[in-house]
A and B are shown apart, each in its own frame.
Chain A
Amino acid sequence: MEHKEQKDQVSAQRVWQPKVIAFVCNWCTYAGADLAGTSRIKYDANIRVIRLPCTGRIDPLFVIKAFEQGADGVLVSGCHPGDCHYNTGNYHARRRWTLFRELLEFVGIDLRRVQFAWVSAAEGAKWAEVVNEMVQHVRELGPFEGYHVMLARSGRDAWLEKAAAGGGNGSGKGVAGGTPAVQKAE
Chain B
Amino acid sequence: MYLKRDEVLKRGKVGLVVKGCDARAVTGLIQESQVARERLVLIGMACDGVGEPLLDMCKHCDVHTPAGPGADAHRLACDYVSGKATVADAKPEDEGWLDDVRKIEALMPPERWAFWQEKLSRCIRCYACRQVCPLCYCKRCLVEKNEPQWISSSAHEAGNFAWNIIRAMHLAGRCIGCGACERACPQDIPLTLLNKKMAESVARHFKYRAGYDPTAAPAVKAFDKADENDFFR
Decide if A and B touch, CB cutoff 8 A: yes
With the chains together, A99 CA to B205 CA distance in Å?
9
Interface: B198 (CB within 8 A): yes
| Distance of A110 Cα from B115 Cα, bound (Å) | 15
Choose among A81, A92, A106 the residue that contacts B229 (Cβ–Cβ < 8 A). Answer: A81
A146 touching B113 in the complex, CB below 8 Å, given contacts A94-B227, A99-B202, A106-B105: yes
How many B residues are at the interface, by size bracket? 35 or more
The contact string, 1 if C-beta is below 8 Å from chain A, for chain B 148-176, is 00111010111101100110110011000
Interface residues of A (CB under 8 A from B): 60-61, 64-65, 68, 81-82, 88, 91-92, 94-110, 115-118, 130, 133, 146, 150-151, 153-156
State the CA gap A56–B206 with chains docked (Å).
18
A93 CB, nearest partner CB in chain B, Å: 9
- A60-B166 in contact (CB<8A): yes
- In the bound assembly, the distance between CA atoms of A113 and B225 in angstroms comes to 26
In the docked arrangement, what's the CA distance between A115 and B197, Å? 20
Q: Are A98 and B113 in contact (CB under 8 A)?
A: no
Q: Do B154 and A103 have beta carbons less than 8 Å apart?
A: no
- The complex places the Cα of A91 from the Cα of B225 at a distance, in Å, of 7
Q: How far is the CA of A31 from the CA of B207 in the complex (A)?
A: 35
Residues B201 and A68 in contact, CB atoms below 8 Å apart: no
Which of A99, A102, A156 meets B220, CB within 8 Å? A99
Task: Kindly report which residue of chain A lies nearest to residue B205, judged by CB atoms.
Answer: A98
User: Is A154 a contact partner of B166 (Cβ separation < 8 A)?
Assistant: no
Q: Are B198 and A150 in contact (CB under 8 A)?
A: no
Query: Which residues in A have their C-beta under 8 angstroms from that of B152?
Result: 154
**Interface of chain B residues 36 through 62 with chain A (CB within 8 A):** none
Name B156's contact: one of A98, A99, A106, A153 (CB within 8 Å).
A153
**Given A106-B104, A109-B113, A95 and B227 contact (CB-CB distance below 8 Å):** yes
Judge whether A61 and B150 touch: CB under 8 Å. Answer: yes
| Total A-B residue contacts, Cβ distance less than 8 Å | 123
The reply on B112 being an interface residue by CB < 8 A is yes
Interface residue SS majority, chain B = helix
Quick one: given A107-B116, A116-B233, A154-B154, are A98 and B110 in contact (CB under 8 Å)?
Answer: no
The CA of A102 and the CA of B232, in the complex, are separated in Å by 14
A99-B225 Cα distance, complex, nearest whole Å: 16
In the bound complex, residues from chain B placing their C-beta under 8 Å from that of A104 are 165
- Nearest CB on B from A56, distance (A): 10
- When chains A and B are docked, how far (Å) is the Cα of A61 from the Cα of B107? 25
Q: Which of B119-147 contact A (CB under 8 A)?
A: 142
B194 at the interface (CB under 8 A from A): yes
Q: Does B2 reach chain A (CB closer than 8 Å)?
A: no
Closest to B219 in A: A95
Asked if B109 contacts A110 (CB within 8 A), the reply is yes
Contact of A154 among B156, B205, B224 (CB under 8 A): B156
Task: Give, as a whole number of angstroms, the nearest-CB distance from B125 to chain A.
Answer: 13
What's the Cα separation between A117 and B230 when bound, in Å? Answer: 10
A-B contact pairs, 5 of them (CB 8 A): A65-B162, A92-B223, A102-B197, A106-B194, A130-B233
Residue of B nearest to A93 (CB): B223
Interfacial chain B residues near A107, Cβ < 8 Å? 112-113, 116, 161, 165, 194
Q: Do A61 and B166 contact each other (CB < 8 Å), given the known contacts A98-B228, A103-B172?
A: yes
Q: Are the CB atoms of B206 and A95 closer together than 8 Å? A: yes
Q: Closest approach, in angstroms, between the C-beta of A184 and any C-beta of chain B?
A: 25
CB-CB < 8 A to B228: which residues of A?
94, 98
